[in-house]
Amino acid sequence: MRQLEESEFVSLYCDAHQRLWVLASAITADSSLAEDVLQEAAITALRKLEDFDPETSFVAWMSQIVRFTALNFLKIRNRRKTESLGVHSDTEPVTVNQSIAETSVSATGQLFSDQDDFDDEVVAAIKCLDPERRACLLLRSVHGLGYDEIAEIIGIPEGTAMSHVHRAKASMRQQLSSYRDRDDTSDQRDVHA
C-alpha cells in the first residue's frame, strides 16, 4: 500500500478543512474549539499516516479522527466543569463566533428586531441536540451537503443521516416555537432604514 506523502496530506487537509471544521464545531457545540480540535486531529492523523490507504476516502478517514478528538475535548471540558468550583449551569450560552455575528446583516432581506436573542437561542437549542444529530444538521445547513456525503463524514447510514436532520429540525422548531408566534404578530422591520 502506497503511503500518503505529507505534502499530499496538507493539500487534502486544506480541501476538507471547512467540512471538518463544521464537524468539529458541531460535535463540541463550540465554534471556538473547532480549530483546536482540528489541529490536534491533524497531528494525530500525521502520526498515523501509514495506516491510511490513499485509495480510500481521505474525508471519511479524517472525519473519524476529528470525531474522536472532538468527543475527547467534550469529555475533558465536561469533567473540568464538574470538578471546578462555581460550576456553570447547563444553560450557559455556548461561545459564538463573535466576528461573524457582528458582521451578519440583512442576508434574508428582512431584519428582525430580536435577531441577536434569536441567534443565542438557536445556539442553545443546538447544544441540546445529541452530537451526532447536531453534526448532521450543521453539515446540511452550513454546507448544504447531500445525505450521502453527510453519512460518509459521520460514518452512519444515509437513511440515519436523513432522519437525524429531519428530527433535529423538528426539535429546533419546537424549542424556538415562541419565535414562530412572534413572527405571526408581525415583529419585523423594513430593510429600508
Partner 1 sequence: MPNSNTSDEDSDLELDQRIDLSIRRTFAPPSVPNLSFLAEHFNSKTAATPSSNLAKTAELAMAVRDEHNTVGSSSVVSSRPIGDNQASVSQAPSRNKLRLAMIGLAAAITWIVVGSQFYGSWRSKNQTVAFQPRPLTELYQACVADGFRPYWVCEDEQLFASTFKDRQGVALNLQGLPASSKMVGLSYLLGISRQSTSVLAMTDDSPIIVFVDRLENDRKIDTGYIDGDDLHVTRIVRDDLVFYEVSPLPNARITPYLLPSPK
- Given the rule CB under 8 A, which residues bind partner 1? 5-8, 10-11, 13-15, 17-18, 21-22, 25-26, 31, 34-35, 38-39, 42-43, 46, 96-97, 99-101, 103-110, 112, 118-119, 122-123, 126, 137-138, 141-144, 146, 169, 172-173, 176-177, 179-180, 183-184, 190-192
Query: Min. distance of Cβ 160 from partner 1 in angstroms?
Result: 19
| CB of residue 85 to partner 1, shortest distance in Å | 30
Nearer to partner 1, 77 or 173 (CB): 173
How far apart CA 170 and CA 172 sit, in angstroms, is 5
154/149 Cα distance (integer angstroms): 9
Nearer to partner 1, 56 or 108 (CB): 108
Residue type, 133: R
Residue 22 or residue 61: which is nearer to partner 1 going by CB? Answer: 22
Find the shortest distance in angstroms from Cβ 110 to partner 1.
Answer: 7
| Run of H or E residues at 51 | none
Q: What CA–CA distance (Å, rounded) separates 93 from 166?
A: 24
| Residue 160 grid cell | 440515519
Count of residues in the chain: 193
Only one residue has cell 453519512, namely 151
Residue number, 50 or 83, with CB nearest to partner 1: 50
Q: Which is nearer to partner 1, 10 or 76 (CB)?
A: 10
Provide the total of helices (H) and of strands (E) in the chain, helices listed first: 9, 0
